[in-house]
Structure 1
Amino acid sequence: MGGAAVQAETPELVIYTYDSFVSDWGPGPAVEAAFEETCDCDLIFVGAGDGAALLARLKLEGARSDADVVLGLDTSLIATAKNTGLFAPSGVSASFDLPITWRDDVFVPYDWGYFAFVHNADLAAPSNFRDLADSDLKIIIQDPRSSTPGLGLLMWIKDAYGDDAPAIWQGLSDNVVTVTKGWSEAYGLFLEGEADMVLSYTTSPAYHLIAEEDETKAAALFDEGHYMQIEVAGTLAASDQPDLAERFLTFMISDAFQSIIPTTNWMYPAVLPEAGLPEGFSSLVTPDKALLIPPQDVPALRDAALQEWLTALSR
């Protein structure tokens, strides 16, 4: 009886995140263990599909959501997320190791990377979207309505090509063999040989190199530049554990958390760990040009870009 009472008094922190974060090979298990050592709490991760699906679930649940923290939104979603009124301001600040200066009073970044098409290293990869569209290569992408990489691809093409984006999508339409709901499914299909290339990240080959000692995967370097993704977390205004949630966001930018990211989430950490990056990261391609639409401008572009995508892929 007494033990049950103690257990009931242990505070719980519920974090909604994307499925790959909480997988056995993702950061979730190590992050949970590390934070619970410091918090005298029970950290509960809830996988909710891919990044864009997180926001859709929150909109559905509203202030009734069980979530205290949402981890896995990104720069393409934060303006829309703020407009829901569901998120509380954060007092967390740090000196971030990001390609841009971070200024946001709600969301805290925890990692970043560049979108890229990953392929087998022996493939003669295209060097831009026009060459890809003109080729017979088969690609797998993710749905922008449920996936942050999918939405990132929309913004990538929109930023690089502007009014020519519909023509690019029309050219790519016959290259796309599958559109998946999330990244994990897409990457798994690529590894099974279902396509020549998959939308992923420039950092993805590091996984194969470091975890599998496999040098057969590479990321195609595109000369129009690569779109950047910065992933963030934020606290729900309706959380019944606001102090604990803020503690987690502070922990998230600590060395204990950030040192987990490179070899579990296979992204660049938002704050460089004391030990630096694993050796395999030095062999990754680095885009000559970084693309990023200001987060506040994304909502106005998203609907038009989504319609261009739907129109091209429906033909």
Structure 2
Amino acid sequence: MRYPTLAAGLILATAPALAQTPELTIYTYDSFVSEWGPGPQVKSAFEAVCDCTVTFVGAGDGAALLARLQLEGARSPADIVLGLDTNLTAIAAETGLIAPHGLTPDHDLPVAWDDPLFLPYDWGYFAFVHDTDLADPPASFGDLIASDLQVVIQDPRSSTPGLGLLMWVEAAYGDRAPEIWQGLAPRILTVTPGWSEAYGLFLNGEADMVLSYTTSPAYHIIAEGDDSKTAAIFEEGHYLQVEVAGMLAASDQPELATRFLDFMLTDAFQAILPETNWMYPAVLPEAGLAQGFADLPTPDRALLLPPAEAAARRDGALATWLSALSR
């Protein structure tokens, strides 16, 4: 009759130890947490030093992350949001949901950075990716409009690449943006909710080009030994994306969340990104980048709207886009 009592005692003794293991909940985009994305390796690397459990929650694409946070508000169970970019940070900051990180990191970004709420972890240039055997690839938006090519893009209401394309046209053309979208509309085969769906359609041969990144061909070169993909370089320049993470003000693990933000800019995190997220890391890893990155074409001109200006232009740019595609 002693064994049930002993078992109960063991359960009671073990329960506090289990309860003391903190959990860090991180909202991010679906591709980050996929088996081929950086999420699994990041989870293992941080859990090895934090004495905690990391739980990633995929919430669609980057713009969908912000929509979910706005819906949940201060009730959100998330401690960290990872996957917004500078087109969304001003809007996210206005919600009051993000706490200052209090860190002063070094980075290797191509732009200055002093945001008190968001820390960058990687960056890249938006571009249209195509097969290298494509005859006469466009060298500008004008060339694309004048062609008979079919492209796949992402919805700017749910996807950061989709929103990035809107800002790309805004930054490059300003008041001429409606004219550019009217010309582009016949070239758009379809609009997908996120990047993964669009890139899959391109790989399946359903479109000539896909909105992605200048770094996307590095995946095919390094992981597949396939150099049949490249990015078209446009004379107008290319819009820069800086992806960021921030800590929620309502987090019940603020110290752990700050530790994770600090960890993001260490080599243990940054070295994972190039060959899983296929972007340039915010801090160059000690081992450098694989040769596949060195061989990529790079834009001659970088375009980037300040976060507040991107936020101010967003609704008008979206209305222009919807009007052009509905005709």
* Equivalent in 93, 103, 114 of residue 125 of structure 2: 114
Tell me the secondary structure at the aligned position of residue 102 of structure 1.
coil
Structure 1: which 5+ runs fail to align? none
**Code of the aligned partner of 1:152:** G
Q: Does 1:221 align with 2:229?
A: no
User: Which consecutive aligned stretches of 4+ in structure 1 deviate over 6 angstroms post-superposition?
Assistant: none
**Which residue of structure 2 lines up, in the alignment, with residue 17 of structure 1?**
28
Equivalent in the alignment of 2:179: 167
| Alpha-carbon distance, 1:4 to partner | 4.0
The match for 1:34 is: 45
Q: 1:237 aligns with which of 214, 239, 249?
A: 249
Amino acid across the alignment from 1:286: T
State the match for 1:286 in structure 2. Answer: 298
Asked whether 1:54 is paired with 2:65, we answer yes
> Partner of 1:64 in structure 2?
75
Residues 92-103 of structure 1 aligned to structure 2 (within 5 Å): 92-103=103-114
Unaligned 5+ runs, structure 2? 1-10
User: When the two structures are aligned, how many residues end up with a matched partner?
Assistant: 315
1:132 to partner: Cα distance? 0.3
The Cα shift of 1:225 comes to 0.1
Q: Which amino acid aligns with 1:108?
A: L
Secondary structure at the counterpart of residue 174 of structure 1: helix
Deviations 1:72-99 (A, max 9, x none): 0001000000000000001122221011
Instruction: Tell me, in whole angstroms, the C-alpha distance in 2 between the residues paired with 1:6 and 1:192.
Output: 50
Picking from 277, 301, 304, the partner of 2:289 is: 277
What do the CA deviations read for 1:261-292 (whole angstroms, capped 9, x no partner)?
Answer: 00000000001111111111011011000000
Deviation at 1:7, TM superposition (A): 2.1
Cα distance in structure 2, aligned partners of 1:5 and 1:169? 60
SS in 2 for 1:61: helix
* Paired residue type of 2:184: L
Residues 206-248 of structure 1 show CA distances to partners (whole Å, capped at 9, x for unaligned) of 0000000001000000000000000000000000000000000
> What residue number does 1:202 align with?
214
Structure 2: which amino acid aligns with 1:307? A
Structure 1 residue 140: deviation in Å? 0.3
Amino acid at match of 1:69: I
Give the CA deviation at 1:141.
Answer: 0.3
Residue aligning to 1:306: 318
Select the structure of larger CA radius of gyration: 2
Question: Helix, strand or coil for the counterpart of 1:173?
Answer: helix
Normalising by structure 1, report the TM-score.
0.99
Residue of structure 2 in register with 1:192 after alignment: 204
Mapped to 2, the partners of 1:56 and 1:159 lie a distance apart of 24
> Residues 240-251 of structure 1 correspond to what in structure 2 (within 5 A)?
240-251=252-263
Aligned mate of 1:142, from 145, 150, 154:
154
